Amino acid sequence: MTRPAGGRRGARRRGERGATVIELAMIMPIVLAVVLLVVQLALWFHGRQVADAAAREGARIARAAGTSGDWQAAAEAKAEQIVRAIGPKILRDATARAWERGDQRGVEVTGSAVQVVPLLPDLTFTVTSDFGGPIECFRPDDGSDGCR
């Protein structure tokens, strides 16, 4: 025995018409938010890599300067040059600060990563990177302690 075409099965299908569109409309904001969050994390990570590279190069200049005069300005200038060369739009408002602690020298780079999520204007994604190490200097074999 065959069922008529307009039976119970067809009535149920007609009642669910448009359900997929409504489900998609409910899920899409969540999917979009997750995608924007992933993009924001990727941009923050890339900004961190730019800050790491700049701080590393600035610290290399600071450590290799020995006891020469204006090593701080040279190290900070090198770090800021690296930020401008690699990612000036990725790491905004980047500043470099050279430091010396005992026999250690380095550079700290701080900036803000690009913001993708426009709904959170007060939220800043700050990136800070600090690299340093011992001052490189030549110590003569005669036992004197001076760096040259």
pLDDT tens digits for range 112-130? 988 887 666 677 889 999 9
Q: Determine the pLDDT at residue 110.
A: 96
How far apart, in whole angstroms, are the C-alpha atoms of residue 35 and residue 71?
44
Q: Determine the pLDDT at residue 142.
A: 75
Cβ distance 104 to 133 under 8 Å? yes
Q: For 35-52, how does the pLDDT look when each residue is reduced to its tens digit (9 = 90+)?
A: 988 998 999 999 999 999
Show contacts of 63-70: CB within 8 Å, 24+ apart. 63/105, 63/106, 63/132, 63/133, 63/134, 63/135, 63/136, 64/136, 65/105, 66/135, 66/136, 66/137, 66/138, 66/147, 66/148, 67/137, 67/147, 67/148
Is 124 strand, coil or helix?
Answer: coil
Q: For 19-29, how does the pLDDT look when each residue is reduced to its tens digit (9 = 90+)?
A: 788 888 899 99
93 torsion bin: left (phi>0), alpha (psi -120 to 50), beta (else):
left
Q: For 69-123, how does the pLDDT look when each residue is reduced to its tens digit (9 = 90+)?
A: 789 999 999 999 999 999 888 998 999 999 999 889 999 999 998 888 766 667 7
Question: What's the pLDDT band for 54 if we cut at 50, 70, 90?
Answer: very high
Strand extents, DSSP E, the chain: 91-101, 104-113, 126-134
> For residue 114, what is the DSSP state?
P
The arithmetic mean of pLDDT across residues 58-62, rounded, is: 94
Q: Determine the pLDDT at residue 10.
A: 53
Which has the higher per-residue pLDDT, 119 or 53? Answer: 53
> For residue 97, what is the DSSP state?
E
- At residue 40, what is the residue type? Q
